[in-house]
Structure 1
Amino acid sequence: MNFKTLAFSVILSTLGFATVAQAENESDLQRLRTTNRCPECDLRGANLQQFDLRGAHLFKAQLQGANLRGVDLRSANLNQANLYDADLTQANLADANLFDANLRNTILERADLREADLSQADLSQVNLIKADLRDASLVNANLSESYLNQANLENADLRQAFLFNSDLEAANLTRANLLGADLRRANLDRTNLESANLTATILADTNVDRAELSQTVLKGSVLQGTDLAPIVCVVSNVVNCVISPASEQAEDLFFEPEIEN
């Protein structure tokens, strides 16, 4: 077999594989459209804007690069689904199951994620600007380097969440549970943390300029390299508060909650 024949065979083989993959994709799309169930389906790059996926069963579905802008996915099962690089702008994912899902690099701007289960999900480098995450579960979720500007995380469960270098400017974290969360180098400028639980939270080198910390629990929080000077130190749930500018490279600071008699 000469080189030209071999090259032509490789091209035909590649085209044949692409045709088979496309056929499988179309088959999965039809299955989803008619049954609203497509676990482990191949829906990579699919345009699903016209689909009604409320309550859809998409366990372990391959949805990389899919177009899901504005799609209704309320109460959908996306447990362990791969949504890498998908567009979910203004999608409705309220009460959806996204446990252990791959959402890395997705667009979730203005998405509705109220009461969604995002525990252990990979949400790194995600656009969550102005997203609604009220009462969402984000336990052990990876939100590193994500944009959560003006997002609403009121009463969200962020225990042990990884928020390294994330942008939470002007976000609402009222009554959020951030116990043991990692917020190193995060931007909390103008973030509302009123009544939030920051017990044992790592806030090293974190920007807390103009953050609202009234009634915030900071017991055992690591504040090394954090400049607390611009904010009010005397808050009702913290005693023996010490302000130490980042330039002094102070040792870790630990706040003890006030004990009420």
Structure 2
Amino acid sequence: MIRLVHALLTASAMSFVALSAQAQSQPVAWSPGYAGACGECDLSGKNLTGWSLAGGNYSSANMEYAFMRGVQAGNANFENANATSADMRGAILTSAQFAGAILSDARLQGIQASGADFRSANVRGANLQTALLVGANFASADLTGSRMESADLSGANLTGSWLNETILAGAVFNGSNMTGSQLRNAAVHGASFKDVRFIDADLSGLKGAETADFEGACVSLSSPLPAPLPLPLCGTAVAPAAFASK
């Protein structure tokens, strides 16, 4: 009997050691509050809801369909990560790095991502309703078909970005840089574009432009406009009536 108990205890101990070794071989310590190096690791479909990933390195990680609601990920590095259809609603992403990342069809409602870097990111079809994106960098980002109702992008960098077919109702772009931005057929009902310089931007087909606020905004000669939006040329006080695109 004593030998049997000893054998069972020995087997249990060996199993525990094996499991511990296996866990240590994983790229992520699976416990809330982990922040470290997880570059190129597979987090697809993982439930990270409420975790703290602040300052961690997740560059090129696979986060497809991951559940990341309310994660604390300020200053984290997600460059070139694949977060297709990830659920990040309410996440804190202040100053996080998403340059080159794929966020298509992601659920980003209510994220706090002021100062975050989304340069050249694929954000097509994502939902950014009520997102706080003050001073964020979306240079050359593709936001085609995204929803950004009531999002705040004041002072954001949107140079060369694609916003075609987006829903921008009630969104705020005051003081943002929209040089070379594409906003063809975007819905801008009640949006605010105060003091925006639309140099070389394409605003053709804007929907709801008559209800948006363009106080202090201006355009260049190469900026196509919808007929009811005669914005002034940058550097002039009044737009010529014929400047609106036909």
Alignment TM-score > 0.5, same fold: yes
Q: Check the 8 A contact 1:37/1:57 in 2, yes or no.
A: no
Q: Name segments (4+ residues, structure 1) moved above 4 Å.
A: 29-33
2:32 equivalent to 1:46: yes
Output the CA distance in 1 between the equivalents of 2:245 and 2:23.
53
Q: Following TM superposition, by how much is the alpha carbon of 1:225 offset from its aligned partner in structure 2, in angstroms?
A: 0.6
Q: Which sections of structure 1, spanning at least 5 residues, go unmatched? A: 1-26, 245-254
Q: Which residue identity is paired with 1:210?
A: D
Q: Following TM superposition, by how much is the alpha carbon of 1:237 offset from its aligned partner in structure 2, in angstroms?
A: 1.9
Q: Check the 8 A contact 1:73/1:91 in 2, yes or no.
A: yes
CA deviation profile, 1:15-48 (whole Å, cap 9, x unmatched):
xxxxxxxxxxxx8x9866522279xxxx5x7111
2:61 equivalent to 1:56: no
What is residue 34 of structure 1 aligned with on the other side?
25
Alignment match of 1:87 (pick from 65, 68, 72)? 72
2:149 equivalent to 1:164: yes
Which SS does the other structure have where 1:224 is aligned? helix
> Do the aligned partners of residues 31 and 177 (structure 1) sit closer, same or farther apart at CA in structure 2, a change above 3 Å counting?
farther
Q: Which residue identity is paired with 1:148?
A: L
Output the CA distance in 1 between the equivalents of 2:143 and 2:173.
15
Q: Following TM superposition, by how much is the alpha carbon of 1:243 offset from its aligned partner in structure 2, in angstroms?
A: 4.2
> Do the aligned partners of residues 101 and 48 (structure 1) sit closer, same or farther apart at CA in structure 2, a change above 3 Å counting?
same
Once superposed, what is the RMSD of the aligned Cα atoms?
2.2
Output the CA distance in 1 between the equivalents of 2:152 and 2:215.
20
Q: Following TM superposition, by how much is the alpha carbon of 1:204 offset from its aligned partner in structure 2, in angstroms?
A: 1.0
**Percent sequence identity over aligned pairs:** 24
Q: Following TM superposition, by how much is the alpha carbon of 1:165 offset from its aligned partner in structure 2, in angstroms?
A: 0.1
Aligned residue pairs total 214
2:229 equivalent to 1:242: yes
Q: Following TM superposition, by how much is the alpha carbon of 1:211 offset from its aligned partner in structure 2, in angstroms?
A: 1.0
Which has the larger Rg?
Answer: 2
What is residue 72 of structure 1 aligned with on the other side?
57
Which SS does the other structure have where 1:62 is aligned? coil
Q: Check the 8 A contact 1:167/1:188 in 2, yes or no.
A: yes
What is residue 151 of structure 1 aligned with on the other side?
136
What is residue 192 of structure 2 aligned with on the other side?
207
Q: Check the 8 A contact 1:228/1:243 in 2, yes or no.
A: no
